[in-house]
A and B are shown apart, each in its own frame.
Chain A
Amino acid sequence: MSNPYEVLGVREDASQDEIKQAYRVMVKKYHPDKFKDNPLSDLADEKLKEINEAYDVLTKENTSGGPNTGAYDNSFSSGGFNPYARGNGNFDPYQRGYNRNDGYKQNDGGCNDCCRICSCVMCTDCMCNSCC
């Protein structure tokens, strides 16, 4: 898919309102009613589809918090904060270790064990911050 900003003809730092306005202008330009009985109506339909896809991408980006510069993915892959990394759904940054009844390894003490779940909370057992 081509650059959605180019398709809609907006700058990369355009606001939601600007994107919406540009979308409306483009839809009006390639509306099927304008190309009724026109031999190029199928090309206009393809263009309209491209515009709709571009608009969906840009509005999705805005609802998920800003333009996708590619850096967004890195925060989950290379050691940044990821509260869902352990994935058991019981996220509690202050929880010390897992529930012992879950069968997880028991907390034997020490930083590595008590801070296994969260890497950004000071270990309260040994009061160190080597794991944070």
Chain B
Amino acid sequence: MFGYIKPKPCELKMRDNEKFKAYYCGVCRSLHKSNGRTASLLLSYDCVFLAIFLSALYEANVSTEEFRCILHPQRKDKYLKDNIFVDYAADVNLILLNYKFADDRRDEGSITASIGKLFYSRRFRRLMEKYETLCTKIESTLKTISLIEDSKVDLMDDITENFANMMSEIFAHSPGEHAESQIRILREAGYNIGKWIYVIDAYDDIEKDIKKNAYNPIVIKYEKKSDESVGTFKGRVQEQIEIDLLKSLERLCLSLELLKFVGDTAILENIIFEGLYSKTKEIIYNEQPVRSSWCQRRR
């Protein structure tokens, strides 16, 4: 579900690439600090995007410190420290993880998910107290989504709406005092990002869901025939799905134009104008991203 919101590294300046890594390491270390080492292994790029977005929007501390990552002990890396939005993104990461575990345990009977839910239950209870309103809204939204998925009817618009509303709540509940108009714009930005994530994930999972006979809203909405191959079906629906995705991105850009960013927006602009767009093309048309030899070496 998550992990689609990434920058396009080839279009980023080296210093901005280093800053992005500092954000990533910052969220990872924040997860580690508050929830243990294993939580940091379950970090999502989307939560890093949340930290970058909020740090660019408000005057946030962007000082970094060097450290040695346990996964790359041979080199020193930098991480963003003492940033309230990085900490918020880490908390949101764990909240969403907890609900994912609950979802997987219910749908697939996954033992890993059961263990994960049990392991993080105490930490999640602490987060529930800290973000009571947000967690209540996320829980009710995910329950509605589960009900619709279980019914296996064509309600793709309703599911997408619910998921988008959940993301809008995450953006609107970010730390700090916000003006009413600011909250409206944040909700709209979160809503469109949520819509984009849900639709692109649904399209990306078509083949997997058909094989497992799992619920896929696109398969139901566009009525895949039993004798129709996955490739043919995807070819039939890709144009409309692309329009839906680009419409969400357009609305996201419009909402961002109404925000006044005070921080550095280079990474944010790369993610939104390059990263999301190229990910759309990559998933819909199976276009492999162009990677220069420099990018390949960095990987």
Contacts and interface: CB of A to CB of B under 8 A. Distances in A.
Interface in B155-211: 181, 184-185, 188
B265 interface: no
Given A29-B257, A44-B258, A38 B185 contact: no
Q: Which applies to chain A's interface (DSSP): helix, strand, loop or mixed? A: loop
A40 interface: yes
Contacts of B257: 29-30
A55 B254 CA distance: 22
A38 B184 contact: no
A50 to B, nearest CB: 12
Interface string A98-123: 00000000000000000000000000
Interface residues of B, number: 9
A47 B188 contact: no
Nearest to A47: B258
B101 to A, nearest CB: 34
B255 interface: yes
Contact of B185 (A30, A34, A43): A43
A5 interface: no
Q: Which applies to chain B's interface (DSSP): helix, strand, loop or mixed? A: helix
Interface string B243-255: 0000000010011
Interface string B46-88: 0000000000000000000000000000000000000000000
B181 A38 contact: no
A43 B184 contact: yes
A40 B252 CA distance: 11
Contacts of B254: 34-35, 38, 40, 44
B186 to A, nearest CB: 11
B47 to A, nearest CB: 25
A34 to B, nearest CB: 6
Contact of B188 (A29, A30, A34, A39): A39
A43 B181 contact: yes
Interface in B213-260: 251, 254-255, 257-258
Interface string A55-96: 000000000000000000000000000000000000000000
Interface of B: 181, 184-185, 188, 251, 254-255, 257-258
Given A34-B254, A35-B254, A40-B255, 11 more contacts: A29-B257, A30-B257, A38-B251, A39-B184, A39-B188, A40-B184, A40-B254, A40-B258, A43-B185, A43-B258, A44-B254
Interface of A: 29-30, 34-35, 38-40, 43-44, 47
10 contacts: A34-B254, A35-B254, A39-B188, A40-B188, A40-B255, A43-B181, A43-B184, A43-B185, A43-B258, A44-B254
